[in-house]
Amino acid sequence: MVALVSVPRNLLGGDSAAEIMSEFGPEHLRLLRFCSSRSSVADLATDLDLPLGVVRILLSDLRERGLVSIHQPATAGLHDIRILKEVADALRKL
């Protein structure tokens, strides 16, 4: 749900929209546009106003084709006191 999606840099200037369209549908293309700035699967679902499950399926199609990469966020942060203190400090400034 909070896995992060990104478009590999070398692909940004590569496949043209038409090429991708011929292979996929307009939903894929729309999703791909939103992926250009690194966001989580949940972010994409809300940006596109699509259910989470639909976004997951579209993303898996795109990943199979190597058009996006999906990273699990660093859960190590949960066990790192330094990071958690940084989070607490930042929240205090809200």
Partner 1 sequence: MPYANSEQTGDRQPVPVAIKILVAGGFGVGKTTLVSSVSEVRPLRTEEDMSEPSSLVDQLEGVERKTTTTVAMDFGRISISDDLVVYLFGTPGQRRFWFMWDELAYGALGAVVMADTRRLADCFPSIDYFERNGMPFVVAVNCFDEARRYPSETMRSALNLTDDVPLLLCDARQRASSRDVLVALVEHAVARLSSGQHVTPAR
* Residues engaged in binding partner 1 (CB under 8 A): 1-2, 4, 6, 8-10, 38, 40, 42-43, 45-46, 49-54, 66, 69-88, 90-92, 94
From the CB of 17, what's the least distance to partner 1, in Å?
21
- The number of beta carbons lying within 10 Å of the beta carbon of residue 39 is 16
Q: How far is the CB of 85 from partner 1 (least distance, A)?
A: 6
Q: Are 11 and 47 in contact (CB under 8 A)?
A: no
Residue 69 DSSP SS3? strand
For partner 1, which is the closer residue by CB, 18 or 91? 91
- Main-chain phi, psi angles of 3, to 5 degrees: -65, 145
- Quick one: 19 or 86, whose CB is closer to partner 1? 86
Min separation Cβ 25 and partner 1, Å: 18
The closest alpha carbon to 20, from 70, 69, 68, 71, belongs to 68
